[in-house]
């Protein structure tokens, strides 16, 4: 790499002492030197960040991207219904972004309205999965990809989002079949990526920093759910 102007200035600058210059002149030189050093440090930091981002994009080179089968699902019991590509970012997780979290959502509506929203480019949000009241699971985004579901870029990149059909203020939305099916799904995701089965890594949308959402709400039985996830996780192991 070639020498920068900052490198040249830093190398040729004279020390403030023993030059015969006034204290004021020396202070000006010292201040300029500190500014140059700070600017160089910032440039190095930017370069490091840029290299990190480029490292995450290597898989997009021709012949490198993992092959994808149309309609394939990550959870065997799921049915595939594709979300709009405007509602997620194509990626190659966990190679470019480690997955260490599952985020639990509630649709605040019926299944059909959630699917319609996730298929709309204007919606600008979607989760990887939807679990219906009867327990059926629909996958709309591959776990490889970054779904726009959490309202926080970092959490989107590191998590899998699971929607549940219903309303946060209706306890009847959360059925036995839904809890059981969702727990199996979450347990398999945790097993696949080595995620700890605890409330630090399996969280509600309301717990994502910066969000204004309240789901899954007060009627979501976390104790029951986590018991089912742990049981399913042990069975799958």
**pTM for the full model?**
0.76
pLDDT in tens, the chain (237 residues): 433 333 333 233 333 333 444 445 444 444 444 444 455 444 545 554 555 555 566 556 655 677 789 999 999 999 999 999 999 999 999 999 999 999 999 999 999 999 999 999 999 999 999 999 999 999 999 999 999 999 999 999 999 999 999 999 999 999 999 999 999 999 999 999 999 999 999 999 999 999 999 999 999 999 999 999 999 999 976
Cβ pair 184, 178 in contact under 8 A: no
The distance from CA 72 to its chain's CA centroid, rounded to whole angstroms, is 21
- CA torsion through residues 106, 109, 114, 120, sign: negative
Instruction: Give the residue from 23, 179, 53 showing the smallest Cα distance to 104.
Output: 179
Query: What are the φ/ψ torsions at residue 234 (nearest 5 degrees)?
Result: -65, -40
d(CA 39, CA 210): 31
Tokens encoding 206: 């309301």
d(CA 72, CA 99): 20
């Amino acid at each position: 790499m070639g020498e920068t102007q900052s490198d040249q200035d830093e190398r040729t600058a004279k020390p403030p002492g023993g030059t015969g210059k006034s204290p004021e002149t020396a202070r000006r030189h010292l201040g300029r030197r500190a500014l140059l050093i700070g600017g160089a440090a910032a440039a190095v930091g930017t370069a490091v960040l840029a290299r990190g981002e480029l490292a995450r994009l290597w898989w997009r080179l021709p012949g490198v991207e993992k092959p994808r089968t149309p309609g394939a699902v990550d959870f065997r019991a799921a049915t595939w219904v594709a979300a709009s590509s405007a509602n997620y970012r194509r990626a190659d997780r966990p190679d470019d972004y480690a997955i260490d979290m599952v985020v639990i959502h509630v649709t605040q509506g019926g299944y059909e309205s959630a699917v319609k929203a996730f298929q709309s480019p204007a919606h600008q949000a979607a989760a990887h999965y939807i679990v219906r009241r009867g327990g059926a699971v629909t996958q709309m985004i591959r776990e490889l990809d970054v779904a726009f579901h959490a309202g926080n870029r970092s959490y989107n990149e590191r998590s899998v989002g699971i929607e549940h059909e219903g309303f946060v203020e209706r306890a009847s939305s959360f059925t036995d079949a839904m809890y059981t099916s969702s727990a199996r799904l979450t347990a398999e995701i945790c097993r696949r990526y080595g995620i700890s089965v605890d409330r630090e890594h399996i969280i509600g949308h309301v717990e994502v920093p910066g969000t204004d959402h309240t789901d899954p709400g007060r009627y979501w039985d976390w104790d029951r759910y986590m018991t089912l996830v742990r049981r399913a996780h042990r069975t799958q192991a």
